[in-house]
């Protein structure tokens, strides 16, 4: 277990707990995070850290979904904006090396699904 992922999981649970309590939810059933490749967060380790950190919290039966984002480069030749994957900076349209990198450093909680007091429990596929 890497401490980095456990710290992120705990922070997510704290934010979700505050927000869910604010709206009167009884439990959080699903969290969706957007994480940039530059954050160097291992998705598998974050999932495991979340399973550990959620014990005894309102996220105990919840699931975590992760959307990965990448650095975007701009091609100076054809003006195409493209994702940089595996540190491949060449434009897929024309082969020119991309410049002007943006993004890829996101760490955002973008969606919280929660159960309100009168709703049914989380579906089994989420647990």
Q: Which domains does the chain have, with CATH numbers?
A: 3-117 (3.30.2320.80)
Return the DSSP state at 36.
E
How would residue 84 be classed by pLDDT, with cut points 50, 70 and 90?
A: very high
Model confidence pTM above 0.85: no
Say if residues 116 and 122 touch (Cβ distance below 8 Å): no
Instruction: Give me the mean pLDDT over the 102-125 stretch.
Output: 83
- The predicted pLDDT at position 122 comes to 55
Q: What is the mean pLDDT of residues 97-119?
A: 93
Asked if the model's pLDDT at residue 89 lies above 60, the reply is yes
d(CA 41, CA 75): 27
């Amino acid at each position: 277990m890497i401490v980095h992922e456990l710290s992120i999981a705990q922070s997510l649970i704290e934010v979700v707990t505050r927000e869910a309590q604010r709206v009167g939810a009884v439990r959080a059933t699903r969290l969706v995070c957007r994480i940039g490749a530059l954050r160097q967060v291992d998705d598998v380790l974050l999932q495991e850290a979340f399973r550990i950190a959620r014990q005894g919290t309102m996220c105990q039966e919840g699931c975590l979904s992760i959307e990965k984002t990448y650095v975007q480069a701009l091609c100076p030749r054809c003006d195409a904006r493209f994702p940089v994957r595996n540190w491949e900076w060449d434009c897929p349209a024309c082969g020119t090396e991309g410049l002007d990198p943006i993004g890829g450093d996101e760490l955002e909680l973008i969606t919280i699904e929660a159960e309100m007091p009168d709703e049914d429990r989380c579906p089994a596929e989420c647990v």
